[in-house]
Amino acid sequence: MMGLVDCMFLLLSTTQFILGMLGNNFIVWVHGSSWLKSKRISLSDFIIIILALSRIILLSILLFDSILTMFFYKVHQEGRVMQIIDILWTFTNHMSIWLVTCLNTFYCLKIASFSHPTFLWLKWRVSRLVAWMLLGALLLSCASATSLIHEFKIYSALIGSDVPRNMTEHVRKKSEYDMLHVLGTLWNFPPLIVSLASSFLLILSLGRHTRQMQQNGTSSSDPSTEAHKRAIKIILSFLFLFLLYFIAFLIAYSSRFLPGTKVIVLTGETMTMFYPTGHTFILILGNNKLKQTFVNMMWPKARNGS
């Protein structure tokens, strides 16, 4: 029989899952329909579609993992099931993070304005650069998932080792396993650094643009300024939500060192669902086409002016 804590976590996880699925399916439907009608799609819309699809898979994995934790905790912690979930989650998670990074880089190079030759060279080749980043994202996501195989082998040997007889070997394998698991978190830092750099450049560009507008005596609410502000909001919101996401991952990971920590696992996994769900709606509100379609669907009378 489910306890109060399990019911609360199940309700939170299910609610975030439903909201995330609705938001991401909405993105796929709007951009996908436009793509089919016009037979053309912009690079940013293409990235957003792939991002939405990856988050649909990611949310499904997180919900399945949460249900296993609630109802089949021993099965979740042992055997092949945990390994399969870890591999699928790792690949989809890193792919999702890199896709957001590609989108942030695209916004930065398209909107920011600098006269430095290196920046101009990247700006003129933004489509090719982001395309290569997408390929690199796929390869790095595969590499991060593949790296878990060696970690699982060490974990299996660790579980099957005879601690009293081979204490030295057991300690060595335990240290190696913990080190590999901690190093696995380093896969998140490259996209985080790129997103931070994109945000920093956009803020600098906005400051320069605002000063130029003030010197010319013109209004600071021009399309370029609005584009800067919108892109900065999207990138900073990603960084904030990603920080919460990383903290949630560390909470879930700490369960490996503490006995009887089902509540800790559930807390971490419930928090991890907030990032792919919350950032999806930020993307919708930050995209004119998605926002207008969403408003028309929610408040059709507003569209008719009645």
What pLDDT shows up at residue 306? 43
Average pLDDT of the residues of the chain? 77
Q: What is the mean pLDDT of residues 237-266?
A: 68
What pLDDT shows up at residue 301? 53
Binned at pLDDT 50, 70 and 90, residue 52 comes out as very high
Nearest to 277 by CA among 10, 47, 58, 33: 58
The pTM of this model reads: 0.81
What pLDDT shows up at residue 76? 60
With contact defined as beta carbons under 8 Å apart, do 147 and 119 qualify?
no
Structure tokens of 270? 């419930």
With contact defined as beta carbons under 8 Å apart, do 254 and 178 qualify?
no
Q: Where are the alpha helices (DSSP H) in the chain?
A: 4-38, 43-71, 73-77, 79-111, 117-124, 126-160, 167-184, 189-215, 223-253, 262-272, 274-286, 288-298, 300-304
What pLDDT shows up at residue 1? 45
With contact defined as beta carbons under 8 Å apart, do 24 and 34 qualify?
no
Q: What is the mean pLDDT of residues 98-115?
A: 86
Structure tokens of 43? 């690079």
> Between residues 162 and 127, which one has the greater pLDDT?
127
From the CB of residue 22, how many other CB atoms can be counted at a distance below 10 Å?
13
What pLDDT shows up at residue 111? 83
* Lowest mean pLDDT across 43-52, 128-137, 238-247, 257-266: 257-266
* Residue 100 confidence (pLDDT) above 60: yes
From the CB of residue 123, how many other CB atoms can be counted at a distance below 10 Å?
17
What pLDDT shows up at residue 78? 63
* Residue 170 confidence (pLDDT) above 60: no
Q: What is the mean pLDDT of residues 211-230?
A: 69
Q: What is the mean pLDDT of residues 249-257?
A: 61
Structural domains of the chain ordered from first start: 4-135+193-300 (1.20.1070.10)
Distance of alpha carbon 8 from its chain centroid, rounded? 24
What pLDDT shows up at residue 160? 55
Q: What is the mean pLDDT of residues 237-251?
A: 76
Query: What b-and-e string marks burial along 40-66, b requiring 16 or more CB atoms within 10 Å of the CB?
Result: ebebbbebbbbbbbbbbbbbebbbebb
Structure tokens of 1? 């029989």
What pLDDT shows up at residue 54? 93
Binned at pLDDT 50, 70 and 90, residue 179 comes out as low
> Between residues 58 and 206, which one has the greater pLDDT?
58
Rg (CA), the chain: 22
